[in-house]
Amino acid sequence: MQNYTLQDLVMAGVQWELSENTLKPDIKKTPVQQSLLATKTESKPIIIPACAPITLDTVKSMVERPTDIDSMLRMIGEFNHPLRSGATNVVMPNIATKPNGLLIITDLPSSDDDMSGKILSGQAGELTDKMLSAIGMSRENVSIIPLLFWRTPGGRGPNREELDLSLPFVNKMIEMLSPRIIITFGTLATTEIAKTNLTDKHGSEIVSDSGCIIIPIYHPNYLILKPSAKKDVWDALQNVQKLLKNP
């Protein structure tokens, strides 16, 4: 049988009161016991105030406070996003230690990412590393940021509110990293960052308002399911390599 504290019982809504009736009426009560039983106290319910909802304006104000990447990463790790309670880990961005001007924005954490806390883990991560290696790069010089830092329940598509509460962190990190080229992995990242359709603009060069070049390509998960699409991705990666070599 489990042991519960009085506070546990109160919070569970259990009510009780002391009674002078005992199982053994022939046992006399001491004066102290009689005094305790004579004084009945009425327990007051514990009121837990409702949590204030997180608003987009609050998040936008928050992301302006960090002045460096480390501070921003700490804020992401501590942020109480609505998806956080159902996620195993916060999936943190990969920040290049020797940046070369390339940034990858990918869509949502996978189940592998959720377990490891690292973006693009598992098969998709292995393929990503091979793609970068093919053009002489690695995670050491390429930063990778997900649109969301928490896996959605069952890997479902995120709703608008979930995305909106995460995007200010993504946009602020793009500003901090100041990449020359952004590759968007997959449909959702292309829609949110490049503001265009992946099917129509795969491999195209899209110039952002800040002057950064955005190149949408298929997500590694799509390439695992459809290897024939690797040719299109290879062409786009070769173009990225050429652009980085020409300042």
Radius of gyration of the chain measured on its C-alpha atoms: 28
Residues 6+ apart with CB under 8 A from 10: 43, 45, 46
Using alpha carbons, select from 161, 151, 138, 52 the residue that is nearest to residue 111: 151
Give the Cβ contact number of residue 1 at 10 Å. 3
Please name the residues in contact with 99: beta carbons below 8 A apart, sequence gap of 6 or more.
141, 142, 143, 177, 179
Cα gap 177→95, rounded to integer Å: 9
- The per-residue pLDDT for range 168-227, each reduced to its tens digit, is 999 999 999 999 999 999 999 999 999 999 999 999 999 998 899 999 999 999 999 999
On average, the pLDDT of the chain sits at 85
Q: What is the pLDDT of residue 246?
A: 83
**What is the reported pLDDT for 7?**
43
How confident is residue 48, by pLDDT bands cut at 50, 70 and 90?
very low
Tell me, yes or no, if the pTM score tops 0.85.
no
pLDDT higher than 50, residue 86 = yes
At residue 26, the pLDDT reads 52
pLDDT exceeds 90 at position 137: yes
And the tokens for 158?
A: 């995120």
**pLDDT above 50 for 123:** yes
Specify the pLDDT at position 44: 53
pLDDT at position 33, please? 56
Confidence band for 28, pLDDT divided at 50, 70 and 90: low
16 pLDDT more than 50: no
pLDDT tens sequence across 70-79: 999 999 999 9
Q: Give the span between the Cα atoms of 179 and 29, in whole angstroms.
A: 81
Question: What is the CATH architecture assignment of 56-245?
Answer: 3-Layer(aba) Sandwich (3.40)
